[in-house]
Amino acid sequence: MPEAERFDTLILGSGQGGKLLAWHLARSGRRTAVVERQWIGGACPNIACLPSKNEIWSAKVAQLVHHAVQFGSTTGRIGVDMAKVRQRKRDMVAREVARHLKNFEASGAEVIMGSGHFVAPRTLEVRLNGGGGIRLLTGDQLFLNLGTRAAIPSIPGLEAVQPLTHIEALELDYVPSHLIVLGGGYVGVELAQAYRRFGSRVTVVERGPQLIAHEDRDVAQEVHRLLTAEGIDVFLSAKTLHVRGISGEEISLAATTASGQHKVEGSDILVAVGRVPQTAGIGLETTGVELDSSGYIRVNERLETSAARIWAIGECAGSPQFTHVSVDDFRIIRDNLAGGKRTTRDRLVPYCMFTDPPLARVGLSEQEAQRRGIAARVAKLPMSAVLRTQTTDETQGFMKALVGTSDDRILGFAMIGAEAGEVVAAVQTAMLADLPYPKLRDAILAHPTMAEGLGSLFSNVPPQ
């Protein structure tokens, strides 16, 4: 066993919150080491957020080209070169990794590539990648930034068919002739639409009664309508009985729904049914860090674990699974290390599903308000009523707002429509400032923009 190397700060995982903390603490003069098994900068720039949105944009371009005549442009024979789509994504990832390495070097934080296993509360045995031996590291403070991975459900035959997860799906250099997507959540829906636009036949098999299960029924129905309008087959309330074959060659899936048993035959299968934390098999039991029944690290509102001087950041701590939340986790820990009193309480977390058109939401949904017994007034506006959409033909979708019944505070906002991810920021800002909805209703908003629709939307709020 090598002699332990002492650091002021030891961070396991270089994801969004972990890397920001490493750069900050190292620049502050603390000797800092980051242990990373594979992805410099974590999942977001390598295999998740940015790569998926990169390829989704390529799919949008393919869709626009196929409909060029609608906008007055004529084209010749159209095709999709998935090898070039993949290379464009790989080039972006390479730029991101280079930027991260430069930031690590500039900060003074040491990046150690290898797999870590705890042998004592804040002591990590690191088996270096490439057979480089073992290093023993110990830190005065330890931060766990472990992330999550795609869940593979216990369905007979599924593991044997070597299914794709989002990682492998973003590395395909061919267009699947028929892609079966197991799971109708955010990832499944995004990639189902993208591959349909690349030219695949696509079937989505969802075990629940609607797509995107956490959304209001009218939102889910609109997304369902958009997908089927593009030729995507969707099975809801579907119990998958078994899967046969090899993904990339031939796949056969048997499922039952209320209408009976179905057999779906395809060429490839993508599993997108959720995430599990990467907390198993690394010796956490030696640290005193407690896990919940799902394997997530138990933390308090300051992101402190049950063990002294050990914190957890991002998805492994049960934080909402968004990169921007991990950034806020970093800010909470950074400020509290300096004597602050920041917590995770009452965070207003927005998100965006990057379908076309995208879905964005912040605050309460209508079903959440009902479940919590919060009375709300609901206003809706079809995107076709927003004049900007008449100039772009992006008329699909709607805006929806929840306003308190006893006051005029905005409780929640959802939008399925072009530029939803940008428009939601305006509503979020109003909510953070605790502005009454008439402030947005009566604001002078630039014309013709998508955000201009907020004036009309909030004009539809029922009176108290």
Q: Where are the beta strands (DSSP E) in 350-409?
A: 351-353, 359-363, 376-382, 398-404
Instruction: Say which residues have a Cβ less than 8 Å from residue 114's Cβ, sequence separation at least 6.
Output: 35, 37, 126, 127, 128, 129, 132, 135
| From 66, 117, 214, 447, active-site residue | 447
User: How many whole angstroms separate alpha carbon 442 and alpha carbon 461?
Assistant: 13
What strands lie across the sheet with 239-246, from one edge to the other?
239-246, 250-257, 260-266
Does the bond joining 448 to the residue before it have cis omega, within 30 degrees of 0? yes
How, if at all, do strands 178-182 and 148-150 pair?
unpaired
Helices (H), 247-309: none
Q: 35: Cβ–Cβ under 8 A, 6 or more apart, which residues?
A: 10, 11, 12, 13, 112, 114, 116, 124, 126, 137
Best CA proximity match to 104, nearest among 34, 3, 12: 34
76 CB-contact burial (10 Å; exposed 0-12 / middle 13-18 / buried 19+)? exposed
Q: What share of the chain is helix, strand, coil (3-state, %, to 5)?
A: 35, 25, 40
447 catalytic residue (yes or no): yes
- Cα separation, 273 vs 188, whole angstroms: 8
How wide is the angle at C-alpha 228 spanned by C-alphas 206 and 82, nearest 5°? 85
Identify the bridge partners of residue 117 per DSSP, sorted by sequence position. 125
Residue 100 CA to residue 246 CA, distance in Å, equals 37
Cα of 91 vs its chain's centroid, Å: 21
Residues recognised as catalytic: 447
